[in-house]
Amino acid sequence: MTSQELQATAKAMVAKGKGILAMDESNPTCGRRFKKLGIENTVDNRRAWRALLLTTPRLADYISGAILYDETIRQSTSDGIPFPPYMGQCGIIPGIKVDTGAKDLAGFPGEKVTEGLDGLRERLTEYKGMGARFAKWRAVITIGNQIPSRGCIHANAHALARYAALCQEAGIVPIVEPEVLIDGDHTIDRCHEVTSETLRAVFAELKEQRVLMEGMVLKSSMVISGLDCPKQARVKEVAEKTVECLLKNLPENLAGVAFLSGGQSSELATAHLNAMNAMHRGLPWPLTFSYARALQQSAMETWLGKSENVAAAQKLLCHRAKLNGAASVGSYSEEMEKEAA
Ligand code: 13P
Protein backbone atom coordinates (compact mmCIF):
# COMPACT_ATOMS: atom_id res chain seq x y z
CA MET A 1 0.00 0.00 0.00
CA THR A 2 1.28 3.44 -0.86
CA SER A 3 1.13 6.37 1.49
CA GLN A 4 -1.72 7.71 -0.70
CA GLU A 5 -3.75 4.63 0.13
CA LEU A 6 -2.97 4.98 3.85
CA GLN A 7 -4.12 8.58 3.66
CA ALA A 8 -7.29 7.65 1.80
CA THR A 9 -8.18 5.01 4.40
CA ALA A 10 -7.47 7.39 7.29
CA LYS A 11 -9.61 10.07 5.65
CA ALA A 12 -12.47 7.62 5.14
CA MET A 13 -12.30 6.61 8.83
CA VAL A 14 -13.03 10.18 9.90
CA ALA A 15 -15.37 11.04 7.00
CA LYS A 16 -17.87 13.84 7.61
CA GLY A 17 -20.81 12.80 9.80
CA LYS A 18 -19.35 9.38 10.63
CA GLY A 19 -17.34 7.76 13.39
CA ILE A 20 -15.87 4.42 14.40
CA LEU A 21 -17.62 1.65 16.32
CA ALA A 22 -15.25 0.11 18.89
CA MET A 23 -16.31 -3.52 19.39
CA ASP A 24 -12.91 -4.98 20.21
CA GLU A 25 -13.48 -5.93 23.84
CA SER A 26 -11.28 -8.81 24.91
CA ASN A 27 -13.16 -11.92 26.07
CA PRO A 28 -12.77 -11.04 29.79
CA THR A 29 -13.95 -7.42 29.21
CA CYS A 30 -16.89 -8.60 27.11
CA GLY A 31 -17.67 -11.09 29.88
CA ARG A 32 -17.75 -8.35 32.52
CA ARG A 33 -20.26 -6.32 30.44
CA PHE A 34 -22.38 -9.43 29.77
CA LYS A 35 -22.33 -10.50 33.41
CA LYS A 36 -23.91 -7.24 34.61
CA LEU A 37 -26.91 -8.09 32.39
CA GLY A 38 -27.04 -11.81 33.12
CA ILE A 39 -25.74 -12.79 29.67
CA GLU A 40 -23.49 -15.87 29.62
CA ASN A 41 -19.96 -15.22 28.30
CA THR A 42 -19.78 -17.94 25.64
CA VAL A 43 -18.16 -17.84 22.21
CA ASP A 44 -21.65 -18.16 20.66
CA ASN A 45 -23.05 -15.22 22.62
CA ARG A 46 -20.03 -13.06 21.77
CA ARG A 47 -20.51 -13.91 18.08
CA ALA A 48 -24.25 -13.25 18.26
CA TRP A 49 -23.65 -9.86 19.88
CA ARG A 50 -21.07 -8.83 17.30
CA ALA A 51 -23.32 -10.06 14.47
CA LEU A 52 -26.17 -7.97 15.89
CA LEU A 53 -23.96 -4.87 15.88
CA LEU A 54 -22.56 -5.34 12.37
CA THR A 55 -25.84 -6.30 10.68
CA THR A 56 -27.70 -3.27 12.04
CA PRO A 57 -29.64 -1.72 9.14
CA ARG A 58 -28.29 1.68 7.97
CA LEU A 59 -25.33 1.50 10.36
CA ALA A 60 -22.96 2.52 7.55
CA ASP A 61 -24.78 5.87 7.28
CA TYR A 62 -23.08 6.87 10.54
CA ILE A 63 -20.27 4.36 11.06
CA SER A 64 -17.15 4.45 8.85
CA GLY A 65 -15.32 1.52 10.41
CA ALA A 66 -15.48 -0.98 13.26
CA ILE A 67 -12.66 -2.29 15.44
CA LEU A 68 -12.77 -6.07 15.87
CA TYR A 69 -11.07 -8.39 18.34
CA ASP A 70 -8.91 -11.36 17.27
CA GLU A 71 -11.75 -13.81 17.94
CA THR A 72 -14.28 -11.62 16.11
CA ILE A 73 -12.32 -11.10 12.89
CA ARG A 74 -12.41 -14.90 12.46
CA GLN A 75 -16.19 -15.12 13.01
CA SER A 76 -19.15 -14.84 10.62
CA THR A 77 -22.69 -13.53 10.37
CA SER A 78 -25.55 -15.95 11.04
CA ASP A 79 -25.66 -16.49 7.25
CA GLY A 80 -22.07 -17.67 7.32
CA ILE A 81 -20.41 -14.61 5.76
CA PRO A 82 -17.11 -13.85 7.53
CA PHE A 83 -17.36 -10.45 9.23
CA PRO A 84 -14.62 -8.61 7.25
CA PRO A 85 -16.10 -9.19 3.76
CA TYR A 86 -19.60 -8.62 5.15
CA MET A 87 -18.45 -5.23 6.47
CA GLY A 88 -16.82 -4.47 3.13
CA GLN A 89 -20.14 -5.06 1.37
CA CYS A 90 -21.87 -2.65 3.75
CA GLY A 91 -19.22 0.05 3.41
CA ILE A 92 -17.79 -0.35 6.92
CA ILE A 93 -13.99 -0.56 7.06
CA PRO A 94 -12.71 -3.53 9.10
CA GLY A 95 -10.20 -2.73 11.85
CA ILE A 96 -8.45 -4.88 14.45
CA LYS A 97 -7.15 -4.43 17.99
CA VAL A 98 -3.54 -5.63 17.98
CA ASP A 99 -2.19 -4.83 21.43
CA THR A 100 -2.14 -7.69 23.90
CA GLY A 101 -3.23 -5.65 26.89
CA ALA A 102 -1.94 -3.29 29.58
CA LYS A 103 0.37 -5.03 32.08
CA ASP A 104 1.98 -3.80 35.31
CA LEU A 105 5.02 -1.64 34.50
CA ALA A 106 8.02 -3.04 36.36
CA GLY A 107 9.33 -0.59 38.96
CA PHE A 108 6.29 1.71 38.73
CA PRO A 109 3.63 0.65 41.24
CA GLY A 110 0.09 1.43 40.05
CA GLU A 111 1.13 2.08 36.44
CA LYS A 112 0.73 0.06 33.25
CA VAL A 113 2.50 -0.47 29.96
CA THR A 114 0.78 -1.95 26.94
CA GLU A 115 2.35 -5.03 25.40
CA GLY A 116 2.14 -6.67 21.98
CA LEU A 117 5.14 -5.57 19.88
CA ASP A 118 6.75 -9.03 19.72
CA GLY A 119 5.60 -10.77 16.54
CA LEU A 120 3.46 -7.78 15.59
CA ARG A 121 4.83 -7.56 12.02
CA GLU A 122 3.69 -11.13 11.33
CA ARG A 123 0.29 -10.65 13.00
CA LEU A 124 -0.32 -7.50 10.95
CA THR A 125 0.38 -9.46 7.76
CA GLU A 126 -2.15 -12.09 8.81
CA TYR A 127 -4.83 -9.52 9.70
CA LYS A 128 -4.23 -7.66 6.43
CA GLY A 129 -4.84 -10.91 4.61
CA MET A 130 -8.13 -11.23 6.47
CA GLY A 131 -9.23 -7.78 5.32
CA ALA A 132 -8.19 -5.44 8.15
CA ARG A 133 -7.35 -1.95 6.90
CA PHE A 134 -6.70 -0.26 10.21
CA ALA A 135 -5.56 -1.27 13.69
CA LYS A 136 -5.78 -0.06 17.27
CA TRP A 137 -3.37 -0.03 20.22
CA ARG A 138 -4.49 1.37 23.55
CA ALA A 139 -2.12 2.72 26.20
CA VAL A 140 -3.44 3.44 29.68
CA ILE A 141 -2.34 6.42 31.76
CA THR A 142 -3.61 6.55 35.33
CA ILE A 143 -3.95 9.76 37.34
CA GLY A 144 -3.27 9.34 41.04
CA ASN A 145 -1.00 10.32 43.89
CA GLN A 146 2.37 11.16 42.24
CA ILE A 147 1.35 9.43 39.01
CA PRO A 148 1.60 9.30 36.07
CA SER A 149 5.38 9.19 36.07
CA ARG A 150 7.51 10.33 33.16
CA GLY A 151 8.80 6.78 32.91
CA CYS A 152 5.31 5.40 32.35
CA ILE A 153 4.32 8.04 29.82
CA HIS A 154 7.56 7.55 27.91
CA ALA A 155 7.36 3.74 27.83
CA ASN A 156 3.79 3.87 26.49
CA ALA A 157 4.50 6.63 23.98
CA HIS A 158 7.46 4.69 22.62
CA ALA A 159 5.44 1.48 22.23
CA LEU A 160 2.61 3.38 20.50
CA ALA A 161 5.07 4.85 18.01
CA ARG A 162 6.75 1.48 17.28
CA TYR A 163 3.31 -0.05 16.75
CA ALA A 164 2.22 2.80 14.44
CA ALA A 165 5.35 2.49 12.30
CA LEU A 166 4.84 -1.28 11.91
CA CYS A 167 1.21 -0.72 10.90
CA GLN A 168 2.11 1.77 8.21
CA GLU A 169 4.83 -0.55 6.91
CA ALA A 170 2.10 -3.19 6.51
CA GLY A 171 -0.27 -0.75 4.78
CA ILE A 172 -2.56 -0.56 7.81
CA VAL A 173 -3.70 2.75 9.31
CA PRO A 174 -2.83 2.90 13.02
CA ILE A 175 -5.28 4.26 15.56
CA VAL A 176 -2.99 5.58 18.28
CA GLU A 177 -4.86 5.53 21.59
CA PRO A 178 -3.30 7.01 24.73
CA GLU A 179 -6.20 6.85 27.21
CA VAL A 180 -5.94 9.03 30.29
CA LEU A 181 -8.33 7.23 32.62
CA ILE A 182 -11.37 9.01 34.02
CA ASP A 183 -11.10 7.04 37.29
CA GLY A 184 -10.18 9.07 40.36
CA ASP A 185 -11.10 12.31 42.10
CA HIS A 186 -8.81 14.57 40.07
CA THR A 187 -9.99 17.93 38.71
CA ILE A 188 -10.40 18.76 35.03
CA ASP A 189 -7.29 20.93 35.25
CA ARG A 190 -5.21 18.00 36.48
CA CYS A 191 -6.62 15.93 33.58
CA HIS A 192 -5.63 18.74 31.19
CA GLU A 193 -2.08 18.75 32.53
CA VAL A 194 -1.69 14.96 32.23
CA THR A 195 -3.37 14.74 28.81
CA SER A 196 -1.16 17.52 27.52
CA GLU A 197 2.02 15.89 28.78
CA THR A 198 0.93 12.53 27.35
CA LEU A 199 0.05 13.89 23.90
CA ARG A 200 3.30 15.86 23.75
CA ALA A 201 5.30 12.70 24.50
CA VAL A 202 3.28 10.56 22.07
CA PHE A 203 3.69 12.96 19.14
CA ALA A 204 7.42 13.39 19.86
CA GLU A 205 7.86 9.60 19.67
CA LEU A 206 5.68 9.30 16.56
CA LYS A 207 7.92 11.86 14.87
CA GLU A 208 11.09 9.99 15.94
CA GLN A 209 9.68 6.79 14.46
CA ARG A 210 8.79 8.58 11.19
CA VAL A 211 5.09 7.90 11.38
CA LEU A 212 3.08 9.57 8.62
CA MET A 213 0.63 11.93 10.30
CA GLU A 214 -1.78 11.96 7.34
CA GLY A 215 -1.98 8.17 7.58
CA MET A 216 -2.94 7.78 11.25
CA VAL A 217 -5.84 8.61 13.55
CA LEU A 218 -5.47 9.72 17.17
CA LYS A 219 -7.92 8.14 19.60
CA SER A 220 -7.89 10.46 22.57
CA SER A 221 -9.67 10.69 25.86
CA MET A 222 -11.41 13.99 26.56
CA VAL A 223 -10.17 16.54 29.09
CA ILE A 224 -12.72 15.90 31.80
CA SER A 225 -13.17 15.79 35.61
CA GLY A 226 -12.35 12.52 37.37
CA LEU A 227 -15.45 10.40 38.01
CA ASP A 228 -15.15 10.96 41.79
CA CYS A 229 -14.24 14.64 41.65
CA PRO A 230 -16.82 16.57 43.69
CA LYS A 231 -16.77 19.41 41.14
CA GLN A 232 -17.82 18.08 37.73
CA ALA A 233 -16.92 20.37 34.82
CA ARG A 234 -19.83 21.33 32.56
CA VAL A 235 -20.11 20.36 28.91
CA LYS A 236 -18.82 23.69 27.63
CA GLU A 237 -15.70 23.57 29.80
CA VAL A 238 -14.90 19.99 28.75
CA ALA A 239 -15.25 21.01 25.10
CA GLU A 240 -13.12 24.13 25.49
CA LYS A 241 -10.33 22.51 27.47
CA THR A 242 -10.20 19.44 25.24
CA VAL A 243 -9.94 21.46 22.03
CA GLU A 244 -7.36 23.79 23.57
CA CYS A 245 -5.26 20.79 24.62
CA LEU A 246 -5.44 19.24 21.15
CA LEU A 247 -4.58 22.51 19.38
CA LYS A 248 -1.52 22.86 21.59
CA ASN A 249 -0.17 19.37 21.07
CA LEU A 250 -1.28 17.93 17.71
CA PRO A 251 0.31 18.59 14.31
CA GLU A 252 -2.02 20.14 11.76
CA ASN A 253 -1.47 17.40 9.19
CA LEU A 254 -2.88 14.63 11.41
CA ALA A 255 -5.72 12.81 9.58
CA GLY A 256 -8.19 13.10 12.44
CA VAL A 257 -9.16 12.56 16.05
CA ALA A 258 -11.73 9.98 17.21
CA PHE A 259 -12.54 10.12 20.91
CA LEU A 260 -13.12 7.19 23.25
CA SER A 261 -16.02 7.42 25.69
CA GLY A 262 -14.05 6.10 28.66
CA GLY A 263 -16.90 5.57 31.12
CA GLN A 264 -18.99 8.68 30.32
CA SER A 265 -22.71 8.13 29.90
CA SER A 266 -23.87 7.77 26.31
CA GLU A 267 -25.64 11.12 26.40
CA LEU A 268 -22.68 13.03 27.85
CA ALA A 269 -20.22 11.51 25.40
CA THR A 270 -22.45 12.75 22.56
CA ALA A 271 -22.98 16.19 24.12
CA HIS A 272 -19.25 16.71 24.67
CA LEU A 273 -18.36 15.83 21.09
CA ASN A 274 -21.14 18.02 19.78
CA ALA A 275 -20.05 21.02 21.85
CA MET A 276 -16.49 20.76 20.54
CA ASN A 277 -17.67 20.76 16.94
CA ALA A 278 -20.36 23.39 17.44
CA MET A 279 -18.02 25.80 19.24
CA HIS A 280 -15.01 25.33 16.97
CA ARG A 281 -15.50 25.48 13.25
CA GLY A 282 -12.46 25.21 11.01
CA LEU A 283 -10.21 23.06 13.21
CA PRO A 284 -7.21 21.52 11.38
CA TRP A 285 -8.63 17.97 11.78
CA PRO A 286 -12.07 16.33 12.01
CA LEU A 287 -13.14 15.48 15.56
CA THR A 288 -15.34 12.39 15.75
CA PHE A 289 -16.11 9.38 17.93
CA SER A 290 -14.74 5.89 18.37
CA TYR A 291 -16.95 4.78 21.23
CA ALA A 292 -17.51 1.30 22.60
CA ARG A 293 -19.65 1.61 25.72
CA ALA A 294 -21.35 4.88 24.72
CA LEU A 295 -22.54 3.25 21.48
CA GLN A 296 -23.26 -0.27 22.69
CA GLN A 297 -24.69 0.15 26.18
CA SER A 298 -28.38 0.81 25.55
CA ALA A 299 -28.50 -1.78 22.78
CA MET A 300 -26.94 -4.45 24.99
CA GLU A 301 -29.37 -3.69 27.82
CA THR A 302 -32.21 -4.29 25.37
CA TRP A 303 -30.74 -7.40 23.72
CA LEU A 304 -30.03 -9.38 26.92
CA GLY A 305 -28.83 -12.32 24.83
CA LYS A 306 -32.29 -13.01 23.37
CA SER A 307 -32.91 -13.32 19.65
CA GLU A 308 -36.38 -11.80 19.94
CA ASN A 309 -34.76 -8.53 21.10
CA VAL A 310 -32.31 -8.19 18.20
CA ALA A 311 -34.37 -5.77 16.10
CA ALA A 312 -35.15 -3.46 19.05
CA ALA A 313 -31.47 -3.45 20.09
CA GLN A 314 -30.37 -2.64 16.54
CA LYS A 315 -32.76 0.30 16.41
CA LEU A 316 -31.21 1.73 19.57
CA LEU A 317 -27.68 1.25 18.23
CA CYS A 318 -28.55 2.95 14.96
CA HIS A 319 -30.15 5.85 16.76
CA ARG A 320 -27.13 6.30 19.03
CA ALA A 321 -24.82 6.17 16.00
CA LYS A 322 -26.97 8.76 14.25
CA LEU A 323 -26.80 11.14 17.24
CA ASN A 324 -23.03 10.80 17.39
CA GLY A 325 -22.82 11.32 13.64
CA ALA A 326 -24.70 14.59 14.17
CA ALA A 327 -22.38 15.48 17.08
CA SER A 328 -19.37 14.98 14.83
CA VAL A 329 -20.58 17.94 12.75
CA GLY A 330 -21.97 19.95 15.68
CA SER A 331 -25.63 19.51 14.75
CA TYR A 332 -26.86 17.33 17.66
CA SER A 333 -29.50 18.62 20.04
CA GLU A 334 -30.99 17.12 23.19
CA GLU A 335 -34.41 16.90 21.52
CA MET A 336 -32.95 14.32 19.16
CA GLU A 337 -32.60 11.98 22.16
CA LYS A 338 -36.39 11.72 22.31
CA GLU A 339 -36.94 10.65 18.75
CA ALA A 340 -35.41 7.28 19.71
CA ALA A 341 -36.58 4.11 18.07
P1 13P B 1 -15.01 3.19 25.42
O2 13P B 1 -15.65 4.12 24.44
O3 13P B 1 -15.95 2.26 26.09
O4 13P B 1 -14.08 3.89 26.35
O5 13P B 1 -14.09 2.22 24.56
C6 13P B 1 -13.31 2.72 23.54
C7 13P B 1 -12.16 1.84 23.35
O8 13P B 1 -11.92 1.35 22.28
C9 13P B 1 -11.29 1.59 24.48
O10 13P B 1 -10.09 1.11 24.01
**Which tens digit of pLDDT belongs to each residue from 146-204?**
999 999 999 999 999 999 999 999 999 999 999 999 999 999 999 999 999 999 999 99
Residue 305 has a CB neighbour count (10 Å cut-off) of 16
Alpha carbon of 24 to ligand 1 centroid (Å): 9
Fold of 3-338: TIM Barrel (3.20.20)
Q: Nearest residue CA, atom 4 of ligand 1?
A: 262
The DSSP bridge pattern shows strands 134-141 and 173-180 to be: parallel
Q: Where are the beta strands (DSSP E) in the chain?
A: 19-22, 63-68, 93-97, 102-104, 112-114, 134-141, 173-180, 217-218, 256-259, 287-289
H or E segment to which residue 168 belongs: helix 150-169
For ligand 1, pick from 72, 260, 265, 270 the residue to mutate: most ligand atoms within 8 Å of CB: 260
What Cα–Cα distance (Å) separates residue 300 from each residue in 38, 39, 45, 56, 57?
11, 10, 12, 13, 16
**CA angle 127-132-136, nearest 5°?**
90
Domain chopping of the chain, boundaries? 3-338
Give yes or no: 219 in active site. Answer: yes
Cis peptide before 174 (omega within 30 of 0): no
Q: Which residues pair with 217 in a beta bridge?
A: 175, 256
pLDDT in the model for residue 339: 83
Calculate how far, in angstroms, residue 292's C-alpha sits from the geometric centre of ligand 1.
Answer: 5
Is 128 a known active-site residue? no
Say what the pLDDT of residue 32 is.
98
Question: What spatial distance separates the first Cα and last Cα of the chain, rounded to whole Å?
Answer: 41
| pLDDT over 80 (residue 141) | yes
Do 177 and 137 contact (CB within 8 A), yes or no?
yes
Where does the pLDDT of residue 2 fall: very low under 50, low under 70, confident under 90, or very high at 90 and above? confident
- pTM exceeds 0.95, yes or no: yes
| Cβ neighbourhood burial of 256 (10 Å; 0-12, 13-18, 19+) | buried
Cβ of 114 less than 6 Å from ligand 1: no
pLDDT surpassing 70 at residue 286: yes
- Pocket of ligand 1 contains residue 140 by CB under 6 Å: no
